[in-house]
Amino acid sequence: MSDRFVVLSGCSGGGKSSLLEELRRRGHAVVAEPGRRIVEEELARGGSALPWLDLVAFARRAIDLALADRAAMRGHAGFVFFDRSLIDAASALEAHGGEPLLDALAAHHRYNDKVFLTPPWPEIYVTDPQRRHDFEAARAEYRRLEMTYSALGYETIILPKVPVPERADFVLRQLGACQRAEM
C-alpha cells in the first residue's frame, strides 16, 4: 500500500477535476482521471472503447491506465492525488458484466486509507462530450463506489459542498498535510 496515493472519487460531475487542479496549483502531484483521457483518445481516433458504446472495453482500458499511472508515480516522495483510481475502474468492470478483478487488484494495489468522495451535487452537474450520462446515472455510480470503497476497508470521507479552495483545505487537513507541497 502507498499512504502517499490519495484517491478523489465519487459522483461524476461532483468537482473532482476542479479540486485536483487546485491541489496541483498548490504544488502537489496529481493524476488526471483515466476515463476522461480514454474518452478523449477514443473520440479523436473514432474508437469504440467508450462508456456509452462498450463499457467493458472502456473499463479494461481504465484499469490498464490506472496501473500505469500508479507505476509512473511510484518514485514520487510526496502525496499524489488521483482523480479516480484502479478501484473505480475494476468496480465498473464488475458491475457491468466484466471479469471479477476487484478483490485481487484492490488487495495488491492499495491507496491511502482515506478516500475522498464527491457527493451528488445537482447544482454543478453538467454533461459534456466526455460525460454523456445523466445525473441519476452519476448518483447510482456514487452509491456503488461508496459501497465498494467501504467494503474494501477504506475510510470514505464525503467532501463538503463548498468552494474549491475550501475543499482543498479540507482534504489537506484530513491528511494532516501542509497547505503547500514541498517542491
pTM over 0.85: yes
| Residue boundaries of the structural domains of the chain | 5-175
Q: What is the pLDDT of residues 124-174, one digit of tens each?
A: 556 666 655 666 777 888 899 999 999 999 999 999 999 999 999 999 999
Confidence grade of residue 100 (pLDDT, cut at 50, 70, 90): confident
Predicted pLDDT of residue 8: 97
Predicted pLDDT of residue 183: 40
Predicted pLDDT of residue 125: 54
Domain 5-175 fold is Rossmann fold (3.40.50)
Nearest to 116 by CA among 155, 88, 58, 79: 155
Confidence grade of residue 179 (pLDDT, cut at 50, 70, 90): very low
Predicted pLDDT of residue 51: 83
Instruction: Find the Cα–Cα–Cα–Cα dihedral 149, 155, 161, 164, rounded to 10°.
Output: -90
Pull the grid cell for residue 109: 494495489
- Best mean pLDDT range from 58-72, 136-150, 169-183: 58-72
